[in-house]
Structures are given as C-alpha cells and as structure tokens.
Amino acid sequence: MSSIIQKNASDPQLPNQFVNDIRQIITTAQTNAVRSVDFCRVQMYWNLGKRILEEEQQGKARADYGAYLLENLAKRLEPEFGSGFGVRQLKFCRQFYREYPIRNALRSQLNWSQYRMLIQISDPDKRQYYELEAVNNAWTGRELQRQIDSLLYERLLMSNDKDAVLAVARKERIPETPQEIIKQPTVLEFLGLKKEAAYYEKDLEQAIITHIAEFMLEMGKGFSFVARQKRILLEDDEFFADLVFYNRLLRCFVVIELKTGELTHQDLGQLQMYVNYYDRNEKLPEENPTIGILLCTRKNETLVRTTLPENNSTILASEYRLYLPTAEQLIKEVNEIKEQIQRDKETEA
C-alpha cells in the first residue's frame, strides 16, 4: 500500500491547467499580502500625520512649537522603532495628512514611497495627474519618479489643455489624436547613449529594442510592438521602416523613423510613403489612419509645416533627448519650443 501511495504522490501526470491555477492562487495571495502590508504602512503614516497636526494646533500660540514637537518626538521614537521615525519622516507624515486629509481617498495601489513623491508636488492638478496615472498604469516607484523627473505632465500640456489631460487620466475620455499622447520633447535617457558620442540610426534602434518597455512607457499610452525594420516592397525597390507599433487607444498603426541629425524634407517624404503604404495595405477598414512619427535631434518647425499638407494630422516630428535634463532646463526648453511655434505662426500669417 505504501508503495502505491508513494507512486501516486510522485506521479508527474498532473493537468497543466490545475498546476497553473494553484500557482496563480499562491502568487495572487503573495501579491495581495505585500500590498496589504504596504497600505497598512500608508495608513499608519496618515494617522501619524493627523495626530501630529492635531497636537501642533493645540500649541499654535507658540510659533516654534511644531519644530519642538517633531524634534522631541523623534528622540523618543527612534530608540524604540528605528531611524524610520526621524524628524524628516515625521515632517512627511504631517505633510501627507495636509495634502490628503480624507482617509477614504487614499489609494491602496500606491505605497508610501510613491505618496512621498506625490506630496512634494505643490500643484494640486499636477499631483492628481501623477496619482491617477500611477494607479492606471501600475507604475512602480521608480517609474513614477522617472515620469515626474522628465516632466511628463508639462510636456503633455504643450499640445493639450489641462482639462483634457486630466480627463484622460480620470478615464473620462479616450485620447483622440496623436498630439494627446506624444510628448515634446521625447526623453530617451534610459537608452544609455551618450549625447557626445557619434552613433548611427541602427545604434539608436538597437538601444530602443533593448529597452522596449521603457521606450513604450515614454511614448505614451496604449502602445504595443509590431515590427522592427519592416520590409516594404514597391515593385523592385525595397524599403525598411525602422519601428512599427500599434496603438489600441487611437486604433491605428504607428510607424516610427529614427534620425540622428536634423530632419530634412526628404525624411518627412519617406515617412509619408510608409504611412501611405500602411493605410493602403495593412490597415483594416474599421481602423483609423496610420500615424508617422519622426524622432530627430533637431527640427525646423517651419520646414515641417511647409513640407506637410495644411490639414496634416498623421505625421509628427518630435525631438528626442538622450539625457534627462534638470526640471529648470526642461521647462526652459518647453517654453522655447512654444515661443518658436507661436513666432512661426505669426510669420506665416
């Protein structure tokens, strides 16, 4: 009998679906346990901030009472609970409660590290945007920090109004144009290519493929990878589109061409050919027109508008950066691009 039991216990012929279901149950429970612990930590810091602020308000007659309170509280807590309860952390707790006074509004999908990033954003609309997008896209703390550092919100506002950007984040509307998704400029610091180094389009393309997840995160919502160096045969002539994606929100193909220098009208013409090919040979009747994006290091706005039709809505030229500028540098660059666009429009008028 024991030998039969042993044989059955070691029998490898278990249904794959059964084993996968068991694994899913275990991993889901483990994930939920981690999230539960993380959210308990968030709630703890919220309660600490609430109690600290209540105590401060009782001593509001003394201007220095807040500093005195936190310093002395930290001296009592750190020996018992560790360095995670120092003055700086207690200040974050207090600020956390100030920015999020409604406990039921706290999001269980976000951990304390993410909330610490959010409460340091003074603009409430900007803070709400990053909070919503972190939840919608399941951003890790590192991804959230990267999006804040690269000024994702400000770059989207270059071609969209604030209400539209927030409406998409709140899931009140779906993006309808490529301008609502593509940022100016595109920041590709994660590729690891030095801005001073000489490199070719193929080097840039390979770096993007290596970091495809980060690239799609930077490009925007709804992207999925389709092809690299897509072969296009026109009679006896061969052409190769650098990268092809599909965007499920815009419901269209997206062809991306890479340019390591300043774009020319020939580059735009070639990209237009690729877009036409996809519209005529790959696009289904119910899908929207193909979008073409030319990523370049420098662009001439007037050249772009002069080369393309006046009613163009499917070809975009976006400058990219191989390094992550400081907030001040990026804001300055965004403002310069806006001013240049306005000057060009006034000149044409």
Query: Which H, E and C letters describe the chain, residue by residue?
Result: CHHHHHHHHCCCCCCHHHHHHHHHHHHHHHHHHHHHHHHHHHHHHHHHHHHHHHHHHHCCCCCCHHHHHHHHHHHHHHHHHCHHHCHHHHHHHHHHHHHCCCHHHCCCCCCHHHHHHHHCCCCHHHHHHHHHHHHHCCCCHHHHHHHHHCCHHHHHHCCCCHHHHHHHHCCCCCCCCHHHCCCCCEECHHHCCCCCCCCCHHHHHHHHHHCHHHHHHHHCCCEEEEEEEEEEEECCEEEEEEEEEEECCCCEEEEEEECCCECCHHHHHHHHHHHHHHHHHCCCCCCCCCEEEEEECECCHHHHHHHCCCCCCCEEEEEEECCCCCHHHHHHHHHHHHHHHHHHHHHHC
Highest mean pLDDT range out of 12-21, 25-34, 138-147? Answer: 138-147
What is the pLDDT at residue 91?
93
The Cβ of residue 326 has, within 10 Å, a number of other Cβ atoms equal to 10
Q: Percentage of residues in the chain with pLDDT exceeding 90?
A: 35
What is the pLDDT at residue 161?
80
What is the pLDDT at residue 204?
85
What is the pLDDT at residue 227?
93
pLDDT band at 330 (very low <50, low <70, confident <90, very high): low
Sequence-distant (6+) residues with CB within 8 A of 288 are: 250, 251, 252
What is the pLDDT at residue 5?
44
Phi-psi region of 82 (alpha: psi -120 to 50; beta: other; left: phi over 0): left
Span of 34-43, 176-185, 336-345 with lowest mean pLDDT: 336-345
* Closest to 116 measured CA to CA, from 41, 218, 66, 220: 41
For the question of whether the overall pTM of this predicted structure is more than 0.85, the answer is: no
CATH of domain 177-348: 3.40.1350.10
Which residues of the chain are in CATH 3.40.1350.10 domains? 177-348
pLDDT in tens, 74-116: 999 999 888 888 999 999 999 999 999 999 999 999 999 999 9
What is the pLDDT at residue 4?
45
Rounded CA-CA distance 59/209 in Å is: 58
